[in-house]
Amino acid sequence: MTASGLTYPGVDSARLMVGMEIHVELATRSKMWTSAPNVAHPDHFDARANSLLDPVVIGMPGVLPVMNQRAVEMAIEVGLALNCRIARRCKWDRKSYYYPDLPKNYQISQYDQPICGEGEIQIPASTEAGAPMKTVRIIRAHLEEDAGKLLHEAPGGFPIDFSIVDLNRAGTPLLEIVTEPDLETPEQCVIFGQMLRSICRHLGVSEGIMQKGHMRFEPNINVVIEKDGKTYKTPIVEIKNLNSFRAVEGAVRHEYSRQIEEWLETGRVMGQRAKTTRGWDDIRQVTTLQRHKEDADEYRYFPDPDLVPLEVDQAWLDRLRSRMPEMPAALLQRYVGDYKLNIKDARALVEEPGLTRFFESVVAERVEPKRAAAMLLNYGQKRANERGCGVHELGITPAQIRQIVELADNDRIGSSAADELFGLLCEPDMENQSVESLATERKLIQVSDDSAMASWIEQAIAEQPQAADDVRKGKMAAIGRLVGAVMKASGGQANPKLAQQKLREALTA
């Protein structure tokens, strides 16, 4: 499937239109309306069910919400990253519906005055190299509180004939971002989702762990069909609660063909029926009908009288803007353009915000960026993989990396010694270790001292008379064996380049 004008049997063309709704759980320390800990914060990921509660979370009689300022800041930061207009004044509304995971039976949300208004973001139109960029328009992003969870089996998977309410997630700050239907392929949906995830992680507003539901996607999908010179739009279908990019891809792809098939069968077009909701069956890889919305939802929105309107003044906005880190797209451009990194390395560095920051601090030590990237992605990445942590969490410091680079650049250590030093500096309690003294201690400094070198060369020539003869006769290929002998004689301390030079002088002069 390509971006437009693709063909489908039985129609002239069928263009996919997808608008995305994305829920992002913000990783504040405390919840949206109270000081109880937030399950989306790394400190509380594995909290026991119903352990992150207080009277406000449970919606006890008499409690009142107090706005989490940091959550508002995070929402604004995402808005700035998406080039949204930030509201100078907005309010909080109650959205009413009854469900056991919503203790107050209303959700505090923003109805007609979202904190972030219209915006847009550029994404690559496909994953192909050199793909053109395209604009995805943002309609709005508003802040609200998440609901709890209902469990229909007991922990451990035991069947129960009742439901368990876990309110740990209730009250987690939730940012709902809504786009225009600008996405035209399943691939674009995924690219957009990954871009948004990367932005949120670089901003530090979400850990972006999909399995934990930190980001949940709800594509609104329909197809514009051309047949016999006429245009038909299929009814919009909303797919609920997708929490993997694979599911987004699969659901959009399936829905595209399903809607065309349905249209061919029924001729039903948009407007004849209100929006339908479908779910994604991960095992069968199909979308399944959840409900038709026969009537408009009745949420009885009204301004929450327990809260005062939110005012965002210029000073606050300026402060947030000045704190904004560089966004992933700009980082990639700079790494490829200015640092001349290859796109693969650049992506690897940008993929993990912690690694990006670490890389930047290594570069700030005046390590040449390509060298820094190579150190981190070669020496660093393999050790990080072994330990299951990030490169930036290995323990080695940017200054130590600079010292390794300096030793290597001055030919005082070889590449295997550099690798070994990198490893040693990742051991515990090495952050104050001087690299030079460690290298000396471990006898990793190459010896270029003339008298020592002279005796190792003498020894090597004595041990390898045949090779020495070959070199004397101009067969330079044999010098490698002699260099090996020098290295062996020196216990690995000899500078191999210097050894080769001295051998040549000794045998061919």
Partner 1 sequence: MNLTELDLCGLKEAIDAGRCSALEATTAYLERIEALNPAINAYHEVYAQRALDQARLADEGHRPGPLSGLPISIKDNLCTEYGRTTCSSRMLAEFEAPYTATVVKRLEAAGAVILGKTNMDEFAMGSSSEHCAWGPVRNPWDTERGPGGSAGGAAAAAAAWLCAGGLGSDTGGSIRQPAAYCGVVGLKPTYGRVSRYGLVAFASSLDQIGPVTRSVRDSALLMNVISGHDPLDSTSSSHPVDDFLAGLEEPPARLRIGLARQYLGEGNHAAVKAAVDQAVKILSGAGAQIIEVDLPHTEYGIPTYYIVATSEASSNLARYDGVHYGHRTRNAKDLVDLYAASRAEGFGDEVKRRIMLGTYALSSGYFDAYYVRALKVRRLIRRDFDQAFENCDVLLCPTTTDPAFVAGKNADDPLSMYLNDVYTVNANLAGIPGISIPGGLAEVDGVALPVGVQLLGPMFEEARLLRIARLLEREIGLGLCPPVVSRV
235-254 residues in contact with partner 1 (CB under 8 A) are: none
Residues in region 361-400 near partner 1 by CB under 8 A? none
Residue 273 is given by DSSP the state S
Q: Which is nearer to partner 1, 98 or 158 (CB)?
A: 98
Of 236, 193, 192, 242, nearest in space to 16 by CA:
236
Closer CB to partner 1, 146 or 304, in the complex: 304
Write down the least CB distance from residue 93 to partner 1, Å.
10
Residues 294-353 that bind partner 1 (CB under 8 A): 296, 298, 300, 302, 304-308
133's tokens: 């960029």
Q: Binding of partner 1 at residue 286 (CB under 8 A)?
A: no
Distance CA 28, CA 145 (A): 12
* Residue 173 found at the interface with partner 1 (CB under 8 A): no
What is the three-class DSSP state of 88? Answer: coil
CA separation (Å) from 26 to 49, 122, 474?
19, 23, 70
Q: Which is nearer to partner 1, 128 or 298 (CB)?
A: 298
* Angle separating helix axes 328-337 and 343-351, nearest 10 degrees: 150
State the Cα torsion 128-120-329-331 to the nearest 10°: 170
Binders of partner 1 in range 76-105 (CB under 8 A): 94, 96, 98, 100, 103-105
* # residues near partner 1 by CB under 8 A: 29
User: Could you tell me which residues come within 8 angstroms of residue 244 by beta carbon, excluding any fewer than 6 positions away?
Assistant: 210, 211
Q: Could you tell me if 382 and 415 are in contact, meaning their C-beta atoms sit under 8 angstroms apart?
A: no
Interface residue with partner 1, options 42, 61, 157, 388 (CB under 8 A): 61
Q: Which residue of 1, 3, 6, 63 would you call a contact of partner 1, by CB under 8 A?
A: 63
Nearer to partner 1, 143 or 223 (CB): 143
Which residue's CB is nearer to partner 1, number 91 or number 481?
Answer: 91
The yes or no reply on residue 60 touching partner 1 (CB under 8 A) is yes
Does residue number 274 form part of the binding site for partner 1 (CB under 8 A)? no
For residue 207, CA distances in Å to 160, 213, 346, 350 come to: 33, 10, 21, 15
49 binds partner 1 (CB under 8 A): no
- E strand or H helix that includes residue 179: strand 173-179
Say how far apart CA 195 and CA 327 lie, in whole Å: 10
Q: Decide if residue 59 touches partner 1 (CB under 8 A).
A: yes
Q: Smallest gap, in angstroms, from Cβ of residue 57 to partner 1?
A: 10
* 186 near partner 1 (CB under 8 A): no
Q: How far is the CB of 99 from partner 1 (least distance, A)?
A: 9
Quote the CA–CA distance of 447 and 486 in Å, as a whole number: 11
106 contributes a contact to partner 1 by CB under 8 A: yes
Q: Does 55 bind partner 1 (CB under 8 A)?
A: yes
Phi then psi for residue 278, to 5 deg, are: -130, 160
Nearer Cβ to partner 1, position 45 or 99? Answer: 99
Q: What pairing do the DSSP bridges indicate for beta strands 215-227 and 158-166?
A: unpaired
- At residue 120's C-alpha, the angle toward residues 115 and 122, to 5°, is 145
Closest to partner 1 by CB, 106 vs 456, is 106
Q: Which is nearer to partner 1, 62 or 159 (CB)?
A: 62
How far apart CA 362 and CA 368 sit, in angstroms, is 9
Binding site for partner 1 (CB under 8 A): 55, 58-67, 94, 96, 98, 100, 103-106, 165, 296, 298, 300, 302, 304-308
